[in-house]
Amino acid sequence: MKTFNITALVLAIAILGSVTAIAGNISNDEYKAYKDKIDASYKVAKEKCGSFSGNAEDICTAEAKGRHDVDKANLEAKHNPSAKNQYEARIAQVDADYSVAIEKCDDFNGNAKDVCTAEAKAAKGEATNAAKVEMKH
């Protein structure tokens, strides 16, 4: 049976926070170029999801939207560095991971689905709390 790995999710969020914190200021022209690239990448990724069906398409769409939202939040944090924007970038990653995990839980039935959903919610809670703690420091 597939299970959701909470530790891996929390570790990924922590690593993302470290990488995002290193980022510096970017110019308005770079910001616009990156934003356009993010939007174009999202459009391509979403179109590729059309080749899937059922829950596989839902997972693909959640992954594409999650990457889009995370990339935009990270871009904003680079363009306007602040503790709030760093926090928003981390929360975007938490939300993206949660959305994908919930879609993957749809592959299960009964108790296995309930366990998967509970683990996804717990991981989201832990990662959100970690982001809040990080923001306060």
In which band, very low, low, confident or very high, does the pLDDT at 124 lie, cut at 50, 70 and 90? very high
CA proximity to 80, closest of 38, 36, 28, 131: 28
Q: Residue 24: what pLDDT?
A: 61
When pLDDT is averaged across residues 108-136 and rounded to a whole number, the result is: 95
* Average pLDDT, rounded, for the chain: 87
Q: Tell me the residue ranges of DSSP E strands in the chain.
A: none
Predicted confidence (pLDDT) at residue 18 exceeds the cutoff of 70:
no
Q: Residue 25: what pLDDT?
A: 78
Q: What is the pTM of this model?
A: 0.79
The percent of residues in the chain predicted with pLDDT above 90, rounded, is: 77
Q: Residue 30: what pLDDT?
A: 92
Residue 68 makes CB contacts below 8 A (sequence gap 6+) with: 38, 39, 41, 42, 45
H-state helical runs in the chain? 6-22, 28-49, 54-79, 83-105, 110-136
Per-domain residue ranges for the chain? 31-136
Summarize pLDDT for 60-80 with one digit per residue, the tens: 999 999 999 999 999 999 999
Predicted confidence (pLDDT) at residue 90 exceeds the cutoff of 80:
yes
Among 18-22, 26-30, 66-70, 88-92, where is mean pLDDT lowest? 18-22
